[in-house]
Amino acid sequence: MPDLVPATGTVHWIGAGLSTGSGLAALCEHTDGVRLWHRTVERAAEALDRLGLTGRAEPLAYTLDALTERLAPGDVVVSMLPASEHAALLAACVARRAHFACSSYVSDAVLEQVPAATGAGIVVLTEAGLDPGIDHLFAHSLVARARQAIGDDTAASYRLTSYCGGIPAVPNDFRYRFSWAPLGVLNALRSPARYVENGTESVVDRPWEATREHLVDGETFEVYPNRDSVPFIEQYELPRAWKPLTFVRGTLRLDGWLRAWDAVFEQLRTGDDAGIAALAQELAAAHPTTDTDRDRVVLAVSLEVRVPGSGTGDTGDAGDVDDQVEGVGNGTVWSGSYLLDLEGDEEESAMARCVSRPLALGVRHILDGSLSPGLSRAAETAPCSEEWLRELGDQGLEFTLRVEG
């Protein structure tokens, strides 16, 4: 493993949009070398003023060339830009031997540069926000607890669901307000989703067509799968002796969302890229998030593991467990769930809080040298996840854990 480039303490935070919040303030408390890059110096200064950070970070006008000129070995670049811009940013970091962090999923373009980044001794931290990010921490924690209770070699079946959504705190007729770029929301709905249902892999070309009701803490929501859930079975370290009956990572929306978006779905079925881009602009204008609106973030991750019971007549095949009736003779049942349910306030949106705080925590781990060169996805092991969750809890991010069995 190449030697880690020591962190300088200088952090370049790129972008000050809807997901930039108190995480940036936390970094300003940790280091006095924070620079906020935005479209113009004026916009960057306005963002710092909004966050109460005037004089605590340097406002700068962002261009890739301007950033590259200011980078020194050991600096940390934090990207709040769209994922499509991460590859170019990472290339600049590799060239200057600066560390890189973002809250987005790992793209192929980023993966291609990981060997060079590792060789340069720099950290590439990804998936360190809310979803992806905190959802990974919750899943790792639940899986580790279940493995300890049941054992890796015990035949069992399980259901793991992970749903997250940014929704209006006060429901509106549209059942949604945009907390990130509308075009990104629409394009995500146009991307196929792969997941496990009824013990087999399923693919849906239009994810909203797989929408179903989902009960969270007594409240009914609508949920649908997104992206490719299947690789996370291995990433979350679920034992091979356990059979997945359900494994899905997806999006959570208010009850009634599917009906309210019927006209949008019709255009998604027939529209081309230009038409979808125009639709995104129309929706942004019709359903903006204003200063008086309050958002809500709900992240619900649950895991249920069932082990066949003796004397029930089953063959010991984990697949048989799902057909048994819960109660006497149903064997061992272990279940656990995490719930994060936060509302925004006058100082900060819930989305900004939930994205920026774990990302800032990851940056602090880069600064203290505890992350190794190469690719990291938030905390990729159960012990590290527990540590991150403890630290986030200490910083005031509230969530609940329930375990039975």
For 38-80, the pLDDT digits (tens) are: 999 999 999 999 899 999 999 999 999 999 999 999 999 999 9
The answer on pLDDT for 111 being more than 80 is yes
d(CA 199, CA 209): 20
Which residues are CB-neighbours of 291 under 8 A, at least 6 positions away? none
- In the predicted model, what is the mean pLDDT of residues 371-385? 92
Shared-domain flag, residues 65 and 88: yes
- The DSSP line for 292-306 is T--EEEEEEEEEEEE
Please tell me which residue in 3, 32, 131, 368 is annotated as part of the active site: 131
Shared-domain flag, residues 282 and 181: yes
Q: Which domain holds residue 97?
A: 11-126
Is 238 among the domain residues? yes
Q: What distance in Å separates the CA atoms of residue 306 and residue 21, rounded to the nearest whole number?
A: 41
Final residue belonging to a domain, choices 97, 126, 155: 126
10 with 35: CB under 8 angstroms? Answer: yes
Residues 235 and 92 in one domain: no
Residues 142 and 262 in one domain: yes
CATH code, domain with 143: 3.30.360.10
37 exposure class (CB count in 10 Å sphere: 0-12, 13-18, 19+): buried
Domain end (from 126, 158, 177): 126
**pLDDT confidence of 250, banded at 50, 70, 90?**
very high
| Same-domain status, 99 and 167 | no
Residue 316 lies in a domain: no
List pLDDT tens digits, range 156-205.
999 999 999 999 999 999 999 886 778 989 999 999 999 999 999 999 99
CATH number at 57 reads 3.40.50.720
Return the pLDDT at 287.
Answer: 86
In this structure, the answer to whether residues 268 and 146 fall within a common structural domain is yes
Question: Does 193 share its domain with 341?
Answer: yes
| Segment 117-125 mean pLDDT | 98
> Pick from 107, 126, 145: which residue ends a domain?
126
Asked about 131 being catalytic, the answer comes back as: yes
What letter does residue 181 receive in the DSSP assignment?
-
Section 323-342 average pLDDT:
71
Count of the separate structural domains present in the chain: 2
Confidence of residue 330 (pLDDT cuts 50, 70, 90): low
pLDDT of 105 over the 50 cut = yes
Q: Are residues 218 and 255 in the same domain?
A: yes
Looking at the structure, do residues 143 and 110 belong to the same domain, yes or no? no
pTM over 0.85: yes
